Structure 1
Amino acid sequence: MSESCNSRHFSWLMKSCLPNPSDAKSLVPIHHHANPPATVTPISSLPDDLLLECLSRVPSSSIPSLTAVCRRWSRLLLSPYFLHLRRRLGLLRHSLFAISAVDSGLFAAVLQIQSEVPSWRVSLAVCNDGDQGSLSHARAAAIGPRVYVVSRNAVLRYDSWTGTVAVRSPMIFPRKKFAIAVVSGKIYVAGGGGGSEVTAAVEEYDPERNRWEVVTHAARKRYGCIGAAVDGVFYVIGGLKIGNETSVTSRGTAAHVYASSMDLFDVRSRQWLRSRSVPGGGCVVAACAAVGHVYVLSSHAVELSFWRFDARRGGGGGFGEWTRLKSPPLPAQVRLDGTVRFSCVGVEDKVAVVQVVGCIDDLLRRSGRSERGLRESLVLLYDTVDGEWRRAADLPEMITRAACACVEW
């Protein structure tokens, strides 16, 4: 058969597509539906994985209303996979978080340091689920947008998305002035104690099961220590080393005497690594992790020193090296005495040093200075890229004795 097309064949094709007026069957009207019926599938009928893909793309401002839709949605929004999806989509922002307890609940403040004009956003969260316990020596640890405020006999979970507070299971061993850090979505605490007892037990908290368990015991008991975590290693830094002693004879001494050493616990292998010490001695008063390093702030009675420990174990050859950095530029009116406390928080490629005056009235009375020009707390930011310090917005006045952390929301 020829593959060519002539006019006669084309005419026959066109005629075959036109209706024949003499054929009654060809005149049967054809009904066209403007809106053909379609099967509607509600979003609630989607399986969990597809529903999470949809929910993970909503703006942060809409998340509080989503949690109120139903229990299933609330459960999915609390899942680690939801955070993983938002993190992969670049929808999570890192911010400096500070929280303090008052009689009516918790004051929470968030500072987005990436903003052109960073300012604190303050909110009050009321806890209606029971006694919040004493939070005067509480530590804070954040997993995504949720901050766990851990004190001697109580644990509260603050959700920075919804502004709600929930009571969680307390630690097995009541303790204060302990080290805390987050490794792979779980919270680890070490050191500290209560009364005359200092514990060597290292506890792990699983937020999904709301359960604490002892995973190991430290070789050295520490009171007043600080925690950090990098590359699966839990760093227990500073504090009063107790050794084989089981009691602290002087609470005043225990509260203010710090060591310059740190113990390293590999969470995955459940093994303790070789201990490290900060060069130059001094008392470690604050520490945190940022961009693969541990940053340590040490006090030498009349000055502060700032150090960086290379905690990367990826084979680069720098693991364990110490580098001295530029010290934070504290205002002249700040004295390094027992009334001043420091916190370090890693926020992406920045290190925030938060200075808090424990009792400003006592400080003014002893120093003989007026209250004018003296803030109860200030925030300094260290840029790990250019190595420079700058001052950020001071903590709001209602945030006192703050526990600080870095949140993703």
Structure 2
Amino acid sequence: MSESCNSRHFSWLMKSCLPNPSDAKSLVPIHHHANPPATVTPISSLPDDLLLECLSRVPSSSIPSLTAVCRRWSRLLLSPYFLHLRRRLGLLRHSLFAISAVDSGLFAAVLQPQSEIPSWRVSLAVCNDGGQGSLSHARAAAIGPRVYVVSRNAVLRYDSWTGTVAVRSPMIFPRKKFAIAVVSGKIYVAGGGGGSEVTAAVEEYDPERNRWEVVTHAARKRYGCIGAAVDGVFYVIGGLKIGNETSVTSRGTAAHVYASSMDLFDVRSRQWLRSRSVPGGGCVVAACAAVGHVYVLSSHAVELSFWRFDARRGGGGGFGEWTRLKSPPLPAQVRLDGTVRFSCVGVEDKVAVVQVVGCIDDLLRRSGRSERGLRESLVLLYDTVDGEWRRAADLPEMITRAACACVEW
């Protein structure tokens, strides 16, 4: 067959579909005037609700560029309704974030427990506003994709979508070693203090107004306590009593009772519920909320115990019940003393729960010097469904004195 191509190689049908170069009429475009051209409506002219419906469907990787389009888009992307839409569409992923402060900003490390081999991804977020203060005893709480790093005299907001840091209003009462949790899109803090002064004030932070206010006072002043929230209840767990007691015996008894108990504050009714105690005593060193329960890690000087408190108030009859779970398998090199700090974060992914991958992330990090080849930090994952522990990747070396939270992004 000849490699040349000319009109003789085409069938008469194909030739009839091609315009004839010698026929000028065949080159004139045909205009249909029956239907006028449709008017193009720019997306910017849409009302806010329709624009949010469109923006909520973009991939997470495109969100940083959307915030730079205009102030209106940036404002809409910060709204709680935008998170609600993405959550409803199943576009939010739950991840564990570890935040560590440096002179220029924050190191942020993210871990996705749903992965077969969880590994950390690290990024540096530069704080352009300055004024970050001391974050050595900071706590972290997340609302959607934004992590609020709260310390004694400063509050930073880290946006996991854009990787930016902004300075927010500090707490009314400067405090460290306090309890923190998120209830209905607002941050609550209790306990803690500075030096020998421990405050009883419970503060609420509204991220939309960037404002703190005192909502109640706790009956017990706890120092070194831990916070969690389930079903509209703010749990203030563990810690020590710092105050004047008449005898050494009474001080020791009060400290023990505080260290193994938790107070319950109903945010909606602004009422304190009956306090509960962790079975077996011990000192609560970490706690978190996940899948309708509060998980508590207690230290007994030579061993750890792991407990689950049923915090569901939906009328199932199980509210208030304690269950002892399998203790975390710590390496032999880890000593249970003041050099080790424990942090517990619940990562609740709806898909992961369905796929039997619902996890409690227990970040066990060593703040002192490593010994016998043990890294400075390690991460253990507890599966709330099958009740088994597994080890994940250690925290990156640049993440020191980390504040941890579960982030939707």
Same fold at TM > 0.5: yes
CA contact (8 A) 1:293 1:311 kept: yes
Q: CA RMSD in A?
A: 9.6
Q: Judge conservation of contact 1:357–1:376 (CA < 8 Å) in 2.
A: no
1:170-226 deviation per Cα after TM superposition (whole angstroms, max 9, x unaligned): 000000000000000000000000132100000000000000000000000000000
Distance 2:351 2:250 in 1: 33
Name the CA distance, whole Å, in 2 between partners of 1:154 and 1:228. Answer: 21
* 14 and 250 in structure 1: CA distance in 2 versus 1, 3 angstrom threshold: closer
Give, in angstroms, the shift of residue 275 of structure 1: 0.3
> Contact between 1:293 and 1:309, CA under 8 Å: does it hold in 2?
yes
CA distance in 1, matches of 2:113, 2:403: 18
2:297 and 2:304 in contact (8 A); partners too: yes
Q: Deviations over 1:11-40 (max 9, x none)?
A: 999999999999999999996249942211
Is 1:350–1:384's contact at 8 Å kept on the other side of the alignment? Answer: no
For the pair shown, the structure with the greater C-alpha radius of gyration is 1
1:36-82 per-residue CA deviation (whole Å, 9 max, x = no partner) reads: 42211100000000000000000000000000000000000000000
SS at match of 1:361: strand
SS in 1 for 2:323: strand
User: Within 2, Cα distance between the matches of 1:209 and 1:367?
Assistant: 36
Gaps of 5+ in 1: none
Q: Is the contact between residue 258 and residue 284 of structure 1 (CA under 8 Å) also seen in structure 2?
A: no
**Equivalent in the alignment of 2:105:** 105
State the Cα distance separating 1:104 from its structure 2 match: 1.7
* Long gaps (5+) in structure 2: none
Distance 1:13 1:344, change over 3 A: closer
Distance in 2, matches of 1:97 and 1:313, equals 29
Q: Which residue in the other structure is 1:250 paired with?
A: 250
Provide the C-alpha distance between the structure 1 equivalents of 2:366 and 2:105, rounded to a whole number of angstroms.
32
The 1:47–1:335 alpha-carbon spacing in structure 2 relative to 1, beyond 3 Å, is same
- Secondary structure of 2:353's counterpart equals strand
Quick one: percent identity of the two aligned structures?
99
**Partner secondary structure for residue 253 of structure 1:** helix
Deviations 1:220-272 (A, max 9, x none): 00000000000000000000024677999999999999610000000000000
Counterpart of 2:49 in 1: which secondary structure?
Answer: helix
Q: What TM-score, normalized by structure 2, do the two folds share?
A: 0.85
In 1, are the aligned partners of 2:365 and 2:376 still within 8 Å (CA)?
no
CA distance in 2, matches of 1:27, 1:351: 58
TM-score (norm 1): 0.85
Whether the aligned pair in 1 keeps the contact of 2:132 and 2:167 (CA below 8 Å) is: yes
Q: Aligned pair count?
A: 409
Q: Which moved more, 1:196-205 or 1:368-377?
A: 368-377
SS at match of 1:82: helix
Q: 1:369–1:14: structure 2 CA closer, same or farther, 3 Å change rule?
A: closer
Q: Deviations over 1:70-112 (max 9, x none)?
A: 0000000000000000000000000011001111211000001
CA contact (8 A) 2:68 2:74 kept: yes
Structure 2 counterpart SS, 1:298: strand
Partner Cα distance (1:258, 1:337) in 2? 19
Decide whether the 8 Å contact of 2:203 with 2:213 is kept in 1.
yes
Please say which of residues 239-248 and 47-56 is displaced more in the overlay.
Answer: 239-248
Q: 1:379 and 1:7 mapped to 2: Cα distance?
A: 73
Are the counterparts in 1 of residues 358 and 384 from structure 2 also a CA contact under 8 Å?
no
Secondary structure of the structure 1 residue equivalent to 2:363: helix
- What is the distance in 2 between the residues matched to 1:86 and 1:362? 27
**Quick check: 1:355–1:378 contact (8 Å CA) kept in 2?**
no
CA distance in 2, matches of 1:96, 1:21: 67
- Distance in 2 (CA, whole Å) between partners of 1:364 and 1:10 is 75
Query: 1:6-405 residue pairs with structure 2 within 5 A?
Result: 32-33=32-33, 36-242=36-242, 259-348=259-348, 371-405=371-405
Residues 178 and 189, structure 1, Cα contact 8 Å, conserved in 2: yes
Deviation digits for residues 256-303 of structure 1 (CA, Å, limit 9, x no counterpart): 996100000000000000000000000000000000000000000000
